Amino acid sequence: MPNEEMVVTPWKVSGEIDYEKLIQEFGTQPITDELLEKIKKHTGELHLQLRRRIFFSHRDLDWILDMYEAGHRFVLYTGRGPSGPVHIGHLVPWIFTKHLQDVFGAKLYFQMTDDEKFLIHPEFTLERTNRIAYDNALDVIATGFDPKRTFIIMDSEQGGILYRLAVQVAKRITFSTVKAVFGFEESSNIGIIFFPAVQAVPCFIESAITGENTPCLIPAAIDQDPYWRVTRDAAPKLGYYKPAQIHCKFLPGLGKGGKMSASLPETCIFTTDPPEVVDRKIWNAFTGGRPTAREQRLHGGDPSICPIYYYYYYLFEDDDSKMKNLAEDCRNGEILCGECKLKLAERVKRFLAEHQRRREEARNRIEEYKFKEP
């Protein structure tokens, strides 16, 4: 794996991810202790994903907090490219976004880019990606966002405001720029070439509706950063604030080397997986442990390469001291992989039972969450 070249684009993430290097390459800022202190003033106890630097990088997060302290509310914006079912890794930034919505009382614009997924995948129809968008919306709603302050934008259905704002952004972005930033080529279709303007729209939708320039904070995985680079360039030309961002890491998959791939369903736990599938996937997962119990007891395991460990770390063990103990016990050979897996499986199943219950309830509530042009 370490030899596999790191690729992080909005459409492909592969190889071993070096997050420090991404900060340098993308030109973002690391989340410092000082910044965490600033956040803590507003949120009280820091969220797990901040304490553990799962959200590790940002642009202008300090600025948006200054604005907030000066009395300017901000809106949140995140989204989903609906190409298939939602897995637990997708929930990571959503859970954090819900936390931000709760503590800052912020509106959330959630964009479902069924247009993008249609334009990128040669074999997909728009009906298909739109159907997936509705399915994925159930997971968004099940995450627990406030229905009064959450607006799901279904790109392919959206009223004129989406296109109207998109052309305004588009006029400020050239083909050279999107070629350089996204690697588009002469053979790229003109829909995907235009799409960066569409993905920019939710940053400005609140400002456009209210007529008041409103800061926007985007919590999302770092692979989406290229979109915000072009959006940030266009923003001042449109009279809007540049959107601030906070970037998270990727939840490793259950395969060797943390590989997670939609084409390898055993490497990820989908939100609709039944308990026996969760048991099986976790039981079969690659770990940082030794081949035999004897060796594990003798030499200990390596949590730093263990997907099971990362599942606890990202989502399923909120207590930092317990987390620390788990890592030590593993390294000292005081816990075996089987035990660790069984405990995780119980927690994942408990989490999914609740998520699936809310997901079913969400079926009748999609309209309530959908953004409607005022």
Site residues (vs its own copies, CB under 8 A) = 115, 118-119, 126, 155-160, 162-164, 166-168, 170-176, 178-179, 184-194, 196-197
Q: How far is the CB of 206 from its own copies (least distance, A)?
A: 18
User: Whole-angstrom Cα distance, residue 279 to residue 348?
Assistant: 9
Q: How far is the CB of 229 from its own copies (least distance, A)?
A: 14
DSSP string, 317-346: ---HHHHHHHHHHHHTT-S-HHHHHHHHHH
User: Whole-angstrom Cα distance, residue 261 to residue 356?
Assistant: 22
Nearest to 51 by CA among 64, 60, 62, 40: 40
| Residue corresponding to tokens 């442990």 | 289
Residue number, 24 or 125, with CB nearest to its own copies: 125
Q: How far is the CB of 174 from its own copies (least distance, A)?
A: 5
Residue number, 189 or 261, with CB nearest to its own copies: 189
User: Do residues 204 and 232 lie in contact, with contact meaning Cβ atoms separated by under 8 Å?
Assistant: no
User: Whole-angstrom Cα distance, residue 136 to residue 113?
Assistant: 11
Q: How far is the CB of 92 from its own copies (least distance, A)?
A: 29
User: Whole-angstrom Cα distance, residue 67 to residue 256?
Assistant: 44
Residue number, 118 or 314, with CB nearest to its own copies: 118
Q: What angle do CA 23, 26, 30 make, to 5 degrees?
A: 25
Nearest to 245 by CA among 27, 88, 90: 27
Sign of the dihedral through C-alpha 148, 92, 155, 204:
positive
Q: How far is the CB of 243 from its own copies (least distance, A)?
A: 18
Q: How far is the CB of 184 from its own copies (least distance, A)?
A: 7
Q: How far is the CB of 352 from its own copies (least distance, A)?
A: 33
Question: H/E element holding 34?
Answer: helix 33-43
Q: How far is the CB of 165 from its own copies (least distance, A)?
A: 9
Nearest to 80 by CA among 372, 374, 369: 369
Residue number, 195 or 311, with CB nearest to its own copies: 195
Q: How far is the CB of 155 from its own copies (least distance, A)?
A: 8
Angle between helices 337-362 and 126-142 in degrees, nearest 10: 110
User: Do residues 169 and 229 lie in contact, with contact meaning Cβ atoms separated by under 8 Å?
Assistant: no
Residue number, 60 or 116, with CB nearest to its own copies: 116
126 alpha-carbon distance from chain centroid: 23
Residue number, 61 or 132, with CB nearest to its own copies: 132
Residue 151 DSSP SS3: strand
Residue number, 173 or 345, with CB nearest to its own copies: 173
Residue number, 9 or 14, with CB nearest to its own copies: 9
Residue number, 201 or 308, with CB nearest to its own copies: 201
